[in-house]
Amino acid sequence: MLFDFLEPYLFWIFTSLIIIINLILIFKGVNIYVILFFNIIISITLNLLGLGEYDFLTTIIEGIIDLIGQLLDLLFNRLVDLLNPFQGCS
């Protein structure tokens, strides 16, 4: 019941909470490696609970991986077009 009510807002709720906690840790002078470790632990925990689609870090990493995949696919397609002797340059 509560999950269904909050579902449209969960991404923003989790993102806001993680950013606020990160800012608190930064202003307290915590080492950057501890903050990175904290974010990885939070991301793993949310993924294990089935809430990975609401996790900010997972969303950014998936977007970056998709972008790199698209760029590599485009690069390889262009290289094949250039190296194929039976097809002219387009």
pLDDT of 13-67, one tens digit each? 888 988 999 999 999 999 999 998 998 898 888 888 887 777 888 888 888 999 9
Q: Which residue has the higher pLDDT, 86 or 62?
A: 62
Residue with tokens 């806001």: 16
Residue 90: the pLDDT is 54
Residue 59: the pLDDT is 80
pTM exceeds 0.75 for this model: no
Residue 34: the pLDDT is 92
Query: What CA–CA distance (Å, rounded) separates 37 from 32?
Result: 9
Residue 88 has pLDDT above 60, yes or no: no
Torsion over CA: 40, 45, 48, 54 (sign):
negative
Confidence grade of residue 89 (pLDDT, cut at 50, 70, 90): low
Q: Residue 7: how many CA atoms within 13 Å on its side-chain side?
A: 5
